[in-house]
Structure formats: C-alpha cells, structure tokens
Amino acid sequence: MMGVYKWTHRKVTVHEQKNQAIRDNIIELEEKNHDIFGVKRLMTYINAETHYHVSHGRVRRIGIHASIRVAKRDRQVEKKAFLLVNKR
C-alpha cells in the first residue's frame, strides 16, 4: 500500500505540465472553432501556433479525440454494385 500513498502525494512532472498546457490550448481552439477539427488538424494548429511540437498520438494520449468522425461505408453494398455493373 505504500506505493499508493507515494503516488497520491507525488509532484507533477514537467511532461505532465506540458500536456496540461497543450490540453488547455486545444480546448480553447475547439471552443473558438465550434469543435470542427479532427486530431490531425488540431495537431497542425498546435504545432503552428504554439511553441509545442506534438504528434497525433500525443494529442490522443492526453485525452483529446476528434469531435467529428469519418462515417464508415458499407463495403458489401459497394461490392455488389461493382459486380452487377461488371456482369453486364
């Protein structure tokens, strides 16, 4: 149990402070632009507008996910349509 108490009283690391600053910048950017950006565009804006350099993996790891997602396509219907067109 000693590890739990040590962890709850630990100091915040520099890396965690940077992640918090990046998270704050992303939240501000999303609020300003009505949550229309995906992870890669957020990464591009953070790299361009701040002195931080982040990857899309880091943006995802600090807990930010895209507000909009790409819709999945029905590949079975596409395959059937392709077969019907080529059958004639």
H/E element, 29: helix 14-32
Mean pLDDT of the chain: 83
Q: Is residue 63 left, alpha or beta, with left meaning phi > 0 and alpha meaning psi from -120 to 50?
A: left
- For 68-83, what is each residue's pLDDT tens digit? 666 777 777 777 776 6
Average pLDDT of span 7-20: 91
State the pLDDT confidence band at 14, using cuts at 50, 70 and 90: very high
C-alpha to C-alpha distance for 1 and 23, rounded to whole angstroms: 31
In the prediction, which pLDDT does 75 show?
Answer: 74
In the prediction, which pLDDT does 1 show?
Answer: 60
